[in-house]
Amino acid sequence: MGNNMDHDYYKQNLDSKEISDFFGNISSGYFNYSDLNDYNESEMCCPVPPCKFYTIQAFEKTFLPFFYALIFVVGLCGNGMVIAVLLRAKETLPGTDVFIFNLAFADSLLVATLPFWAVQAVHSWVFGDFLCKVIGGIFKINFYSSIFFLVCISFDRYLSIVYVIRMYNRSNSCWILCISLAIWVLCVLLTVPDFVYLKKEYDSRQNTSSCSLNLASSWKNNLRIFNQVVAFFLPLLAMAYCYTHIICTLRRSKGFQKQKALRVILAVVAVFFLCWTPYHLVMLIDTLIYFEILERNCEWESKVDIAETVTTSLGFFHCCLNPLLYAFVGIKFRNRFLELLEKLGCVNHRFLKKHTHLSSRRKDSTWSESTEASYTGL
Amino acid sequence: MMKKVFFTTLLLLLCAFVTIQGMPTSKRQRCLCRGKDLPSVQIHRIAEAEFHRPSASCDREELIVTLKPKGRKKCLNVNLEQGRIIKEAIMKKKK
């Protein structure tokens, strides 16, 4: 479909003189004017004027740089802190922490690509073909792995609380590393098509260059409903399954921190749901438009475009919340973080004493070592 | 048993992520022309004609003509005779 045509050939205009010159050159036998001239604009049934993309482009120009910058700064700081704290740990990290480390790593790489997309929204893709493949690939890999690790964390907690399987004894810590590695390899493999098909492409319709997948879109669009179900509902289902069982187990147990654990679980699921549901609802509307179940209409579609831009950003914002939800809620993690701050000279020793005191008292409570270990992740 | 469950979950997820669309890099399907295209217009009323090739944002060829005197834009059917000739003229001009 024109792949072998040359690339700078996307848009070409003819003015009226050129057109009349051109049609003047054609012999009347070949081209019957009288037939064509019979058509009158008013006689045509409802010719719709072509859509304009000004609204969505103007909106993205103002909204995306601001919001992406926010996610970039907050996400990089939060996830950077998680990485710094976990890297300093001397003992072998328990399973959940390994996954949290990987999650933080994936999230920080994901937000690191956001400035590029912001620049693309403001100017166009100015970075060339190679960077398009690299940045697009990094984005996709980490987008995948971020959700993978979220599911891993919930599954790990499920196993350790419902089945009281200690995922972090010596033989299992090797397993955890293998699983993490396998996920990364898998995500890289899944991104191979992106590396092949991502290209800087000039789009004459929007009069801008962008870094996009050069695939025939027809077959891709037919998979859309399927995509939405499996990309969102499956992780959500996995999380809901694991956490429901955890909640049931917790309700039966007598624990000091039970209420807190329950709150944290609800927050984890609710935040995932709140961040990604709007996006998938908009995608659903978009799918209905694509299959023409909803009417195609420029104004309506431009509103859907704006909604999609906003909800996608909200989805990315989830990256910023992960450190809070998974790392900073744990007492052990907060203590380690305070220790790190003291080492760096950000807080003094008295401050550290005051704030780590709380957790040492908790250790003396009715909690056994294993239960506590299971709960610290929460 | 547990390992079995774990790997089944992973496998299901694998299927999910093969088909997901990454957002900034996969463009929406947004063609310029909606509804019915004009089969033809009066040649002398065309002020300008622009041709759009299939791209990431639209998988069709589109031909848009600006009409005199009001400068209104209309979509012209590329597959009918007049549209095809204008498209060929545009392509020829390029060469």
Q: Do B30 and A51 touch (CB under 8 A)?
A: yes
Q: What Cα–Cα distance (Å) separates residue B4 from each residue in A98, A237, B9, B11? A: 21, 18, 9, 10
What span, in angstroms and rounded, lies between the C-alpha atoms of B95 and A262? 69
Q: How far is B70 from chain A (nearest CA, A)?
A: 13
pLDDT in tens, A279-315: 888 877 887 887 778 877 888 888 888 888 898 899 8
The answer to whether B70 contacts chain A (CB < 8 Å) is no
Pick from A50, A190, A286: CB nearest B64: A50
Which pLDDT belongs to residue A212? 82
Quote the mean pLDDT of chain A. Answer: 76
ipTM associated with this complex: 0.70
The answer to whether B32 contacts chain A (CB < 8 Å) is yes
Give the residue with greater pLDDT, A115 vs A328: A115
Q: Do B20 and A231 touch (CB under 8 A)?
A: yes
Which residue from B21, B61, B32 is spatially nearest to A232, judged by alpha carbons? Answer: B21
Please check whether residue B74 is in contact with residue B39, taking contact to mean a CB–CB distance below 8 angstroms. no
Q: How far is A328 from chain B (nearest CA, A)?
A: 27
Q: Exposed, middle or buried by CB within 10 Å (0-12, 13-18, 19+), for A228?
A: buried
Average pLDDT of the residues in A261-270 = 79
pLDDT in tens, A203-229: 888 888 888 877 665 555 555 555 566
Q: Do A205 and B49 touch (CB under 8 A)?
A: no
Chain A, 256-275: which have a CB under 8 Å from a chain B CB? none
- Banded pLDDT at A108 (limits 50, 70, 90): very high
Pick from B9, B15, B94: CB nearest A230: B15
Which pLDDT belongs to residue A8? 41
pLDDT tens series, chain B, 95 aa: 667 776 776 665 555 444 444 466 666 677 888 777 888 787 778 888 888 888 877 878 888 888 877 778 888 888 888 888 888 888 877 66
Model confidence, pTM: 0.77
The answer to whether B80 contacts chain A (CB < 8 Å) is no
Contacts of A192 in chain B (CB under 8 A): none
Average pLDDT of the residues in A186-214 = 82
Chain A, 151-190: which have a CB under 8 Å from a chain B CB? 151, 155, 159, 163, 165, 186-187, 190
Which pLDDT belongs to residue B14? 52
Average pLDDT of the residues in A125-142 = 89
Average pLDDT of the residues in A6-10 = 41
The answer to whether A101 contacts chain B (CB < 8 Å) is no
Q: Do B29 and A290 touch (CB under 8 A)?
A: yes
Which pLDDT belongs to residue A75? 94
Which pLDDT belongs to residue A67? 93
Which pLDDT belongs to residue B12? 59
What's the half-sphere exposure (Cβ side, CA atoms, 13 Å) at A201?
24
What span, in angstroms and rounded, lies between the C-alpha atoms of A245 and A91? 30
Give the residue with greater pLDDT, A29 vs A107: A107
- Closest residue, chain A, to B33 (C-alpha): A50
Average pLDDT of the residues in A261-279 = 82
Average pLDDT of the residues in A353-372 = 48
Which pLDDT belongs to residue A46? 53
Q: What Cα–Cα distance (Å) separates residue A366 from each residue in A115, A245, A359, B1, B91? A: 49, 23, 13, 32, 81
pLDDT in tens, A145-174: 888 888 888 888 888 888 876 655 656 778
Q: What Cα–Cα distance (Å) separates residue A341 from each residue in A118, A282, A349? A: 32, 42, 10
The answer to whether B24 contacts chain A (CB < 8 Å) is yes
What span, in angstroms and rounded, lies between the C-alpha atoms of B51 and B65? 9
Residue A257: pLDDT over 70: no
Six-digit token pair at B21? 């669309």
Quote the mean pLDDT of chain B. Answer: 75
Residue A79: pLDDT over 90: yes
- Banded pLDDT at A369 (limits 50, 70, 90): very low
Count CB pairs under 8 A between chains A and B: 214
Average pLDDT of the residues in A179-192 = 86
Average pLDDT of the residues in A20-35 = 47
Which residue from A274, A282, A254 is spatially nearest to A321, judged by alpha carbons? Answer: A274
